């Protein structure tokens, strides 16, 4: 018997995460995923059945991440591939007009959320001696743009966090920052408005990105990569 590989996708209820769920399942993977929207999580569980694992978890809450990771590991196993995809963007505004609460929320989800998932999954993955963690960065993790300074700050942080963690694992578990490209999702519509419609949709992106993600391994440890598509 050849048991299926397991992927964890944070932020699986919409956008890139939701599209990747379908692509991984179509390729025979077992999918675990989280988000905050319980209605969409119920729909995923009903559609895909109990061999997959979709639960509510706010990645900015370390206690929720700890419980989610424990239940996921007990329910479907330790992931082979972890996709730290969940993120938010601030509403377009100059930095000095972004309320402190909104700035905190972007930091808590986009940076601390990624760190929490690694805190709870890297130790067992290192003990097992293999696996890949992909942390979703952005073009705005490698350059900047006006009106999205909080988001840019978090994605630059994801690059640094990932590369330092990659030095720590030495590739026994590969840790990789990934710029997914520019895709028409709720997040892009928040930044680009109607111009977002000129970019590929998430399903088209996922058809190219998922095969690319499944080929990542120790050779890619710490490399800032960009997804095809």
Segment interacting with ligand NAP (CB under 6 A) among 8-16, 124-132, 169-177, 213-221 = 8-16
127 versus 223: smaller Cβ distance to ligand NAP:
223
| 146 noted as active-site residue | no
Residue 34 binds to ligand NAP (criterion: CB under 6 A):
yes
**Cβ of residue 223: shortest distance to ligand NAP, in angstroms?**
17
Nearer to ligand NAP, 199 or 218 (CB): 199
Q: How far is the CB of 52 from ligand NAP (least distance, A)?
A: 16
185 binds ligand NAP (CB under 6 A): yes
Q: Is 109 in the site for ligand NAP (CB under 6 A)?
A: yes
Angle at 62 between CA 42 and CA 170, to 5 degrees: 105
Catalytic positions: 151
Q: Which positions lie near ligand NAP, rule CB under 6 A?
A: 10-17, 34-37, 58-60, 85-88, 109, 136, 138, 180, 182-183, 185-188
């Amino acid at each position: 018997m050849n048991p299926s590989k397991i992927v964890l996708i944070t932020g699986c209820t919409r956008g890139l995460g939701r599209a990747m769920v379908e692509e991984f399942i179509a390729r025979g993977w077992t999918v675990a995923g989280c988000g905050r929207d319980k209605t969409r999580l119920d729909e995923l569980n009903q559609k895909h059945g109990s061999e997959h694992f979709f639960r509510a978890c706010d990645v900015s809450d370390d206690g929720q991440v700890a419980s989610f990771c424990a239940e996921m590991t007990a329910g479907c196993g330790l992931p082979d591939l972890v996709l730290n995809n969940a993120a938010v963007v601030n509403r377009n505004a100059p930095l000095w007009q972004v309320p402190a609460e909104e700035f905190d929320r972007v930091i808590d989800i986009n940076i601390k959320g990624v760190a929490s998932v690694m805190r709870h999954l890297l130790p067992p993955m290192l003990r097992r001696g293999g696996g890949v963690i992909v942390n979703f960065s952005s073009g705005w993790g490698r350059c900047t743009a006006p009106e999205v300074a909080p988001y840019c700050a978090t994605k630059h942080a994801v690059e640094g966090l990932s590369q330092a963690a990659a030095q720590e694992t030495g590739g026994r578990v590969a840790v990789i920052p990934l710029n997914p490209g520019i895709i028409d999702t709720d997040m892009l519509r928040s930044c680009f408005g109607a111009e977002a419609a000129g970019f590929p949709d998430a399903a088209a992106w996922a058809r190219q990105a998922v095969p690319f993600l499944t080929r990542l391994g120790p050779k890619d440890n710490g490399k800032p990569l960009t997804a095809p598509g």
